[in-house]
A and B are shown apart, each in its own frame.
Chain A
Amino acid sequence: MTITKANARPSKDFFVSMLTRDISLEDCILDLIDNSIDAAWKASGERPRTLVVDSALADYEVTIAMSEDAFTIEDNCTGITLDDAANYAFTFGRARGDDPDDYSVGVYGIGMKRAIFKLGSEIEIHSTYAEDDVLTAFKVPIDVPEWLRSDLDPADGSDFAPSWDFDIEEDDPSPHVGVRIHVSQLHPQTQALFGDESYERSLRRILARDYMLPLMRGLRIVLNGTLVEGSTVELKENESFAPMRVKYDDDGVEIEIVAGMLFQPPDDNEPDERKDTLSGWYVACNGRIMLAADRTALTGWGDLTPMWHRQYAGFIGFVFFSAENPLLLPMTTTKRNVDSSSAVYRRARSRMYEPTRAWIDYTNARKNDLQGLKQLETSTTGTSIANVPERPAVSLPTVTKKAATEPVANINYAVPRKQLRALAAAFGDKNMTYRDVGSQSFKYAYDELVDEEDS
C-alpha cells in the first residue's frame, strides 16, 4: 500500500549545469547547425543518401556570427511553426508523438536547449515561417537565471509546481522564413574561446570537414562573414591503385563505404615524420561526419587489425550511414562518436576491415620493392571522393619479392695506360672509359673462348 510519493522531479539546474558539461562548445554550435541543415534537407525535398556534387541545397544558407559579446546563428530554411514551438521544439527530450524528421540527425530533442545553455544566459529564439503563404513570426526570450529561479520552493511552503515552459511572444516577421538564435551574456569560458582568433579558424576547419556532404550539395555556411569552403578529398588512382566504393542496405539503413589511398605512405627510411591529421576512418550519419580521421578500435584499428602505426598513413576511408528513421543510425547524443554497440555499425565495421587489412598488407609488403612501388604511387592522379565508381574492393599492387639476382664478381687490375689507350682505339673509340675497355675486353674474350652451352 502506497504511503506517500518519493520526489523524483527533475531539476532545471540539471539541464542547465550538468548536461552542458558532456559536450564541447563547438559540438553545441554544430548541434544548432544540424537543426538548420535538417530543415534545409526537408525544405529541399532532397535526402543526404549518397555522395554527390550538385546544387540540391544551393538555396539554403546558415550564417553564424560570434564575438566576445554575443553569438547568433540564422538560417533561411523552413522556420519553426508556432504549433511546433508550443508543443515540441522546446521540450527537454523528444515529446511522445514527435517523431524525428526523415533523414535528419536531430533525434534526442536536447541539442538546441543544451547548446544555448552552454553558450550564455540571455537567449532569444526567433522564427519566421509561412502560414498559408503569409510570413508569420514569434520569438521565445529566455532569461536563464530568471527561469532557474522559478524552480525554487516558495518560502511560504505553498504548493509548488515549477513551470518549465518558456513564453512565446509575437514578433515582426523577417524578410524570409527561417530561425534566428541570439545568445548574449555569454559564459566566461565561451567569451574566452570566442575572443581567441585561433578558435574561429579551428571551428572553420571542423565545419568544412563535418559538413563536407551538405557543402558538396550546395549549402552555404557563413562564419563571421566568410564562406566556409567544404573539405575536398581525392583518392589516388592509376592502373595499379584504385579506391573501393560499395553500397548496401542493412535493416533499414543504407550504407556506403569508400576507401583508398589519400597520399603516398611514408618511407620508413626517412627520419622526419610528416604531420598527418587526415588518415584514418570517417563515419557519417545522414550526411554529418560524426567521427573523423579515427585510428582507434572504434573503427577496427588495434582490434580487428594491428594498432595504428605511422606506416599506415595515407589510408582514408569513409562510411556513410543514412536512414529515413534516424533512430536506426549509430549516433550518440553528442554526435561526436558512434554507438559501437549498434549491430548495423558492428556489421559495417567488419566490412571496413577489408580495405584496412588490404592497406596494412600492402604497406608491409611495400619494402620488398620500395623504389618500384614508390614510382607507381607517384604516378597516380586524384579522383574526387564523389566520383569514385562502384568497386567491391580497393586495388593495390601485388608485391612480389624481387627475383634473387645472379651472383656477380668484380674484376680489378692495373695495366699500362698506353696499352689501354691502344686497346680502346682498337675497339674503335680511343676515348673509351677504363671501365668500358675492361667490359669490352671481358666480352671479347668470353665470346671467343666460352661456349654458351657450357656457361
Chain B
Amino acid sequence: MTGSSTSYVNFSVRQNKAIERDRAFRALRALTSTNDDLDYVYVGLGSVWFVDFEIAHRELGIETMISIESDPVVFTRATYNKPYRTVEVIEGTSNEVLPTLLDDRPDLAERPWIVWLDYDKALDTVKVDELRYLIRRLPADSVLLVTFNAAPNRYAGPVDERREAFLELFGDAFPVEPFTTTGKYKDHALVMSALADGLNTLLHSHAGEAARPGGFVRAFDLRYQDGTPMVTAGGCLPSPERAAATSALVAAPGWQGLCPTPITTPPLTVRELQALRALMPCEPPPSRTSVQALGFDLEEDQIAAFAAHYASFPTFVQTAR
C-alpha cells in the first residue's frame, strides 16, 4: 500500500492496535474452532511485518495465506520477509487482485476466506464498492474485517460538510440520529461509533439486497486510538446451515469481536504494566488511590481502560510511540 504507514510502522508496538488485533483473533479463534471442519484461506494486506499472518497461522492453524501489496518496492520486501512457505504475496491493489482470486482460483474460491483489509486510510467510494463486491462474492462461511481511519476530518474538512460526506458514502446506513448538532461531527468517539455502525449496517443491507443465503452477521466493532482514531468493523457471511450457530456464537457474552467502548489504554512502561497487572482481575477497576499507592498515578478513565483490556495488553511494549 503506497504511502501507507503499514509499510514502515510495525503495528505491534501500538498497544491499542495490539489489543484490537488480539480481540479480533480471539473472536476468530472461537469461530474457526466451532467450524473446525472448514479449511480457511487468510487474505490480508501483510506489508513487510505479517503480524496478522503470524497469528492466523499460529493461532488459527491457517496454512493458505495471501498478502496483497501494491507498492513495487514493498512487494519485493514483503516477498523476502514472508514468514511461512505457504504465504503467497501478490502484487497489485486489493480491488484488482481480489476479483482475480475469486474468478480464476478455484482452489481458493471453493473455501471460506477470512479477509482482513487493513486500509489504514479513510473509507471512500472505491473502498466501499470493493466491500460491496466482497459481500456479494465471498464464498459461504467467509469472514470480512475492515480497518479504516475514522478521523472525522479525513471525510470532510469543514465540520458542516461532514454529514453530507457520510451520507454520500453510506446512504441510509449512516446513523444520523446521534448527531443532534453540527458540532457533534467533531466528536471523535461519536464519529468512530457511527462509522463502525454505518459500515456494518451497509454490509448487512447489501447482503440483504444481494439475497445472500445466510445473510450477514455483524461480528466486529472494535474502535481504538493510539493517536489517530481507527475502526475495525465487519462480520460473518455464514452458509444457511451455519447461520443460526454463527449468530448465537456472536451474541454470546464471551465474543471478543464487539467492544462497546473505544480501546484507549494509556501507554505504560514495563514497570507500570507489571504493577498494574498484579492488581488484576479487579471488578470494579482499581481506584486511583490504589494506583497511587503503587507509586505512580493514572487518570480514572485510563485505569478503567486498562482494567477492561489488561488481558490483551501486549507485554513487550515499553512505550507506545
Chain A residues engaging chain B, CB cutoff 8 angstroms:
192-193, 195-199, 201-202, 205, 226, 275
Over the window 79-100 of chain B, the binary record of Cβ atoms lying under 8 Å from chain A Cβ atoms (1 yes, 0 no) is: 0000000000000000000000
Q: Which residues of B contact A202 (CB under 8 A)?
A: 172
Q: Which residues of B contact A195 (CB under 8 A)?
A: 204, 208
- What 6 A-B pairs come out closest when comparing CB atoms? A198-B172, A201-B172, A198-B173, A202-B172, A197-B201, A198-B205
Q: Are A275 and B208 in contact (CB under 8 A)?
A: no
B residues 189-207 near A (Cβ < 8 Å) are: 197, 201-202, 204-205
Q: Which residues of B contact A198 (CB under 8 A)?
A: 171-173, 201-202, 205
Does residue B59 face the partner (Cβ distance < 8 Å to A)? Answer: no
In Å, the complex CA distance between A198 and B170 comes to: 9
Can you list 11 residue pairs at the A/B interface with Cβ under 8 Å?
A192-B208, A192-B215, A196-B204, A197-B201, A197-B204, A197-B205, A198-B172, A198-B201, A198-B202, A199-B205, A275-B164
Q: Are A275 and B175 in contact (CB under 8 A)?
A: no
Q: Are A193 and B175 in contact (CB under 8 A)?
A: no
If A192-B208, A275-B168 touch, whether A197 touches B175 (CB-CB below 8 Å) is yes
In Å, the complex CA distance between A201 and B166 comes to: 14
Q: Which residues of A contact B172 (CB under 8 A)?
A: 198-199, 201-202, 205
Q: Which residues of B contact A193 (CB under 8 A)?
A: 208
B residues contacting the other copy or chain, number (CB 8 A): 15
Q: Are A197 and B173 in contact (CB under 8 A)?
A: yes
Q: Are A196 and B205 in contact (CB under 8 A)?
A: yes
In Å, the complex CA distance between A128 and B172 comes to: 36
Q: A197-B197, A202-B172, A205-B172 are in contact. List 20 more A-B contacts (CB 8 A).
A: A192-B208, A192-B215, A196-B201, A196-B204, A196-B208, A197-B173, A197-B175, A197-B201, A197-B204, A198-B171, A198-B173, A198-B201, A198-B205, A199-B172, A201-B172, A201-B173, A201-B176, A226-B177, A275-B164, A275-B168
In Å, the complex CA distance between A192 and B176 comes to: 22
In Å, the complex CA distance between A275 and B171 comes to: 11
Q: Which residues of A contact B177 (CB under 8 A)?
A: 226
Q: Which residues of A contact B215 (CB under 8 A)?
A: 192
Shortest distance in angstroms between B277's beta carbon and chain A's nearest beta carbon?
39
Chain B residues engaging chain A, CB cutoff 8 angstroms:
164, 168, 171-173, 175-177, 197, 201-202, 204-205, 208, 215
Q: Which residues of B contact A192 (CB under 8 A)?
A: 208, 215
Q: Which residues of A contact B168 (CB under 8 A)?
A: 275
Shortest distance in angstroms between B167's beta carbon and chain A's nearest beta carbon?
8
Q: Which residues of B contact A199 (CB under 8 A)?
A: 172, 205
Shortest distance in angstroms between A204's beta carbon and chain B's nearest beta carbon?
9
Q: Which residues of A contact B202 (CB under 8 A)?
A: 198
In Å, the complex CA distance between A193 and B201 comes to: 12
In Å, the complex CA distance between A275 and B197 comes to: 23
Shortest distance in angstroms between B181's beta carbon and chain A's nearest beta carbon?
16
Using CB atoms, name the residue of chain A closest to B200: A197
Shortest distance in angstroms between A207's beta carbon and chain B's nearest beta carbon?
13
In Å, the complex CA distance between A192 and B171 comes to: 18
Shortest distance in angstroms between B303's beta carbon and chain A's nearest beta carbon?
34
In Å, the complex CA distance between A275 and B165 comes to: 11
Using CB atoms, name the residue of chain B closest to A226: B177
Shortest distance in angstroms between A85's beta carbon and chain B's nearest beta carbon?
36
Shortest distance in angstroms between A274's beta carbon and chain B's nearest beta carbon?
9
Using CB atoms, name the residue of chain B closest to A196: B205
In Å, the complex CA distance between A256 and B177 comes to: 35
Q: Which residues of B contact A226 (CB under 8 A)?
A: 177
Q: Which residues of B contact A205 (CB under 8 A)?
A: 172
Shortest distance in angstroms between B251's beta carbon and chain A's nearest beta carbon?
13
In Å, the complex CA distance between A195 and B207 comes to: 12
In Å, the complex CA distance between A205 and B174 comes to: 13
Q: Which residues of A contact B197 (CB under 8 A)?
A: 197
In Å, the complex CA distance between A195 and B243 comes to: 15
Shortest distance in angstroms between B166's beta carbon and chain A's nearest beta carbon?
12
Of A193, A201, A205, A226, which is in contact with the most chain B CB atoms at under 10 Å from its CB?
A: A201
In Å, the complex CA distance between A275 and B208 comes to: 25
Of A197, A199, A202, A205, which is in contact with the most chain B CB atoms at under 10 Å from its CB?
A: A197
Using CB atoms, name the residue of chain A closest to B175: A197
Shortest distance in angstroms between A149's beta carbon and chain B's nearest beta carbon?
27
In Å, the complex CA distance between A205 and B172 comes to: 9
Using CB atoms, name the residue of chain A closest to B171: A198
Shortest distance in angstroms between B310's beta carbon and chain A's nearest beta carbon?
33
Using CB atoms, name the residue of chain B closest to A197: B201
Shortest distance in angstroms between B55's beta carbon and chain A's nearest beta carbon?
32
In Å, the complex CA distance between A8 and B9 comes to: 76
In Å, the complex CA distance between A355 and B298 comes to: 68
Q: Which residues of A contact B201 (CB under 8 A)?
A: 196-198
Shortest distance in angstroms between B99's beta carbon and chain A's nearest beta carbon?
26
In Å, the complex CA distance between A201 and B175 comes to: 8
In Å, the complex CA distance between A205 and B205 comes to: 17
Shortest distance in angstroms between B170's beta carbon and chain A's nearest beta carbon?
8
In Å, the complex CA distance between A199 and B171 comes to: 11
Shortest distance in angstroms between B131's beta carbon and chain A's nearest beta carbon?
15
Shortest distance in angstroms between B132's beta carbon and chain A's nearest beta carbon?
13
In Å, the complex CA distance between A193 and B171 comes to: 16
In Å, the complex CA distance between A201 and B171 comes to: 9
In Å, the complex CA distance between A275 and B204 comes to: 24
Shortest distance in angstroms between A202's beta carbon and chain B's nearest beta carbon?
4
Q: Which residues of B contact A196 (CB under 8 A)?
A: 201, 204-205, 208
Of A193, A198, A205, which is in contact with the most chain B CB atoms at under 10 Å from its CB?
A: A198
Using CB atoms, name the residue of chain B closest to A205: B172
In Å, the complex CA distance between A193 and B211 comes to: 11
In Å, the complex CA distance between A197 and B197 comes to: 10
In Å, the complex CA distance between A196 and B160 comes to: 28
Q: Which residues of A contact B176 (CB under 8 A)?
A: 201
In Å, the complex CA distance between A420 and B208 comes to: 78
Shortest distance in angstroms between A179's beta carbon and chain B's nearest beta carbon?
29
Shortest distance in angstroms between A195's beta carbon and chain B's nearest beta carbon?
8
Using CB atoms, name the residue of chain B closest to A203: B172
Of B168, B171, B176, B205, which is in contact with the most chain A CB atoms at under 10 Å from its CB?
A: B205
In Å, the complex CA distance between A275 and B161 comes to: 13
Q: Which residues of B contact A275 (CB under 8 A)?
A: 164, 168
Q: Which residues of B contact A197 (CB under 8 A)?
A: 173, 175, 197, 201, 204-205
Q: Which residues of B contact A201 (CB under 8 A)?
A: 172-173, 176
